[in-house]
Structure 1
Amino acid sequence: MTLSRRRVPLLAPSLLAADFGNLQAETERLATSAADWLHCDVMDGRFVPNISFGLPVLQAIHRHAAQPLDVHLMIEEPQHYLAAFREAGATTITVHYEACTHLHRVVQQIKALGCQAGVALNPHTPVGVLEDIAADLDLVLIMSVNPGFGGQSFIPNTLRKVAAMKELLVDTGSAALIEIDGGVTLENAGALVEAGADVLVAGSFVFNSPDPVATLAQLRAHLDATIGAELSGQE
């Protein structure tokens, strides 16, 4: 990848790991943090073996959020709920490749609603399945853990997968961002960005820390240093 395609990575703390009893406070304290987006994981207990939150909770988050809501639908038949999630405050809506029989139609539905359209890939799904739709996407979300639960360990093969996804996007002329969801920490964030990641979702690493705002600032400083070192190395 050439230097001209390097983007400043975005941070999207996942509210799945926040204190659900204090979601208003958790959301509001991120207003002046290093967070660029707020990542919202919606789970239905069918596509994944867990249930998180739905439309009423997303509406409540939206009322108190300063950042755009990055909504990740880990649900079956997402096409039936797209308009409702847009009305609830979603800026980006990501559906799973594995949950959509007619993926192109669903992506076009998301775009028609005025949202950015994303497609997520489970760890076992190869990036090549998106070759024919990559140019239509605003976001590709690569799961770096198996979807359904927070706090899982990062899957090392994700680094290779990110690099392969970046190559596919370049080859297809797609401007889609690559987002990583699962097990992101200070230990792997720099390597993910170097491999081609544009958006990092961090849940447990942020919200299980004593000070989530300070942790996000630390992650931002680490990524800025990574980009700075890369620039210096290419001068």
Structure 2
Amino acid sequence: MVGTGKRERIAIRRIDNLAARQVTFSKRRRGLFKKAEELSILCDAEVGLVVFSATGKLFHFASSSMKQVIDRYDSHSKTLQRSEPQSSQLQSHMDDGTCARLKEELAETSLKLRQMRGEELQRLSVEQLQELEKTLESGLGSVLKTKSQKILDEISGLERKRTQLIEENSRLKEQVTRMSRMETQLGADPEFVYEEGQSSESVTNTSYPRPSTDTDDCSDTSLRLGSK
């Protein structure tokens, strides 16, 4: 079987499984340090990289020495601070404070959302779990109420359609009945319809006349025979 060669994309989010998270951290850290080393060699750049694991363990990489990189960074930061006016420094601090506050709010909101999905509940106390349970019950009650109202609305709509169909069916039945009666009247034989005021005997006599008798002819023949 020939593979497609495409690598499956990994969702960029926190890995819940502890063992998988540690393995991923180790692999990504080595890759990051390798890229930093390549950057320093290829571009003749001074690179310093510091990483703390989730357990607080320190990992670092420096193209020369970490102390030299940090000293250079501090010197550069002080130079920037001296060159900027006081108002710019104050605005920068305010922006940094706002950004930090927004980041904290975002992290807190994301954590609450994950906890509402049943994730990362180990760090919560009993009181916090009870409060979370109340919040979920309240939200579930609103969902069920909205769902019930929509179901009732759909039932009412079906009942209205049912009533309309019954009325339409009755109307069609009446039309069919009237048409059947008209066809019965139009299909009757006109020869057997008596005129008003005429008896059945007169109709029979008119329709079927009696044959004439030959009494006179017989008398004439007898007379002629006798004379001879």
TM-score range, shorter chain: under 0.3
Structure having the higher strand fraction is 1
Q: TM-score, normalised by structure 1?
A: 0.18
Q: Which has the higher contact order (CA 8 A, sep 6+)?
A: 1
TM-score by length of 2: 0.18
